[in-house]
Amino acid sequence: MPDQSAFRLPDLAGKAVLVTGASTGIGAALAIAYAEQGCRVALHYNSSAGEAEAVAAKIRGAGGEVFLTRGDFGRSADVTRVVEESAEKFGRLDGLVNNAGGMLGRVPYAGMTDGQYDRVRDVRGRSVITACRVALPWLKRHGGFIINTSSIAARNGAGGGAGLYGSSKAFVSNVTRGMAKEFIRFGIRVNAVAPGTILTPFHERYSSAEQMKGMVATIPQGRAGTAEDCVGAFLFLSSDAMSGYVTGQIIEVNGGQLMP
């Protein structure tokens, strides 16, 4: 597991960053990593209050600044409130990481209902657009970055009832490209990170041991990834010093499972 605390990106210090879906998994690792870089972190969560408090306690214990904000990202009103109150808390917003939302269950296309489609659309698609739209006036003040969490499923179609999830991630990837073209004139870079098979509560909830074994067998590095394996790509895309001429890109972090 990489030691993210060893990396120092001075241009991130003091920036205010909102990480959505940050109570567990990749989001939690990102909240901690941004705090270690000296960022002021808004940590969004929905149902996992205890886990969110634990992440916040770890950040505060290390001398970092964190603001907890709760909201259901299936509701646009909650998305709007979370972004606004995070920016108002710090008096600025320099970065937005759209990481909220899980698979919401494995559902074959043949058995999908309108309700299931609507929920995935709202949480995985509409929330990203809403969060970016609300954050835009704040990000325009100083320039900044948006990083969306996509997935390997956006390119390979997913499987095992995860097709709708994969399609929503493909939507996120293309929204990333479109926003990159629109927002760069404001000094805002928009990119995405697409994790592969990562050991997080996501797979604990939605993947059986047999499914995980099958997925790991397709990874040239011979193991599933960790949340910490993803952090470096996000930090790279956050730093103007490291990636100031990078926008509209999707970085694949998957141990060679997919080589586009």
Helix (H) or strand (E) holding 96: strand 95-98
Check: CB of residue 18 under 8 Å from CB of residue 135.
yes
Distance of CA 232 to the CA centre of its chain: 13
Give the pLDDT of residue 120. Answer: 85
Give the pLDDT of residue 5. Answer: 59
3-state class (DSSP) for residue 73? coil
What is the residue type of 222? G
Give the pLDDT of residue 155. Answer: 95
Give the pLDDT of residue 52. Answer: 98
Give the pLDDT of residue 217. Answer: 94
Q: Which of 117, 82, 116 is nearest to 99 (CA)?
A: 82
List, by residue number, the catalytic residues: 165
Give the pLDDT of residue 125. Answer: 93
Kindly give the confidence (pLDDT) of every residue in the chain, 260 residues in length, as a single tens digit, with 9 standing for 90 and above. Answer: 556 556 799 999 999 999 999 999 999 999 999 999 999 999 999 999 999 999 999 999 999 999 999 999 999 999 999 999 999 999 999 999 999 987 667 888 888 899 988 888 889 899 999 999 999 999 999 999 999 999 999 999 887 788 888 999 999 999 999 999 999 999 999 999 999 999 977 666 667 788 788 889 999 999 999 999 999 999 999 999 999 999 999 999 999 999 98
Residue 215 backbone phi and psi in degrees, to 5: -70, -45
